[in-house]
């Protein structure tokens, strides 16, 4: 009787572990699929962060993190990821020398300083008013 109940406990534990293992594998597979969406070869990179992509020119309200994904020719699976954590940091579009918008982290004060240094440039602007002078 006690042997049978022990076998039942072991069987239930084994089934639970099997289900959890399958869920983990499914989650990892989905993460890998999301990471390589811009990789034509379907090869999974070693990137472990899997978050929705914030596209340029989309207003963001009080973001906790900004993520910008970009496919580059040398390695189609590489990602340029910038995080803006809790606190004063917000997501800003940083305009580089070619006026190409890319997502970055900056405080409003840092952006004001950049605007004073480069008044004719939209180097640093808040996503909600990116076209403001």
127 in Cβ contact with 54 (< 8 Å): no
Query: From residue 132, how far is each of 46, 56, 111, 119 by CA, in Å?
Result: 39, 16, 13, 12
Q: CA-to-CA distance for 132 and 105, rounded, in angstroms?
A: 18
Look at residue 22 and tell me whether its pLDDT is greater than 60: yes
Tell which residue, 83, 84, 72, has the closest CA to residue 45: 72
Average pLDDT over residues 61-66: 38
Please tell me the predicted confidence (pLDDT) of residue 125. Answer: 53
pLDDT for res 69: 39
The winner for highest mean pLDDT among 27-31, 84-88, 89-93, 111-115 is 111-115
């Amino acid at each position: 009787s006690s042997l049978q109940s022990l076998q039942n406990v072991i069987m239930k534990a084994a089934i639970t572990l099997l289900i959890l293992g399958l869920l983990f594998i499914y989650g990892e597979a989905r993460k890998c699929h999301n990471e390589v969406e811009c990789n034509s070869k379907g090869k999974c990179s070693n990137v472990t962060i899997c978050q929705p992509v914030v596209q340029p020119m989309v207003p963001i309200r009080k973001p906790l993190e900004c993520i910008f994904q970009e496919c580059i020719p040398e390695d189609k699976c590489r990602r340029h990821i910038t995080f803006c954590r809790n606190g004063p940091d917000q997501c800003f579009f940083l305009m580089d020398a070619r006026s190409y918008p890319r997502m970055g982290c900056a405080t409003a004060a840092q952006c004001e300083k950049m605007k004073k240094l480069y008044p004719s440039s939209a180097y640093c602007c808040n996503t909600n008013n990116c076209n403001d002078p």
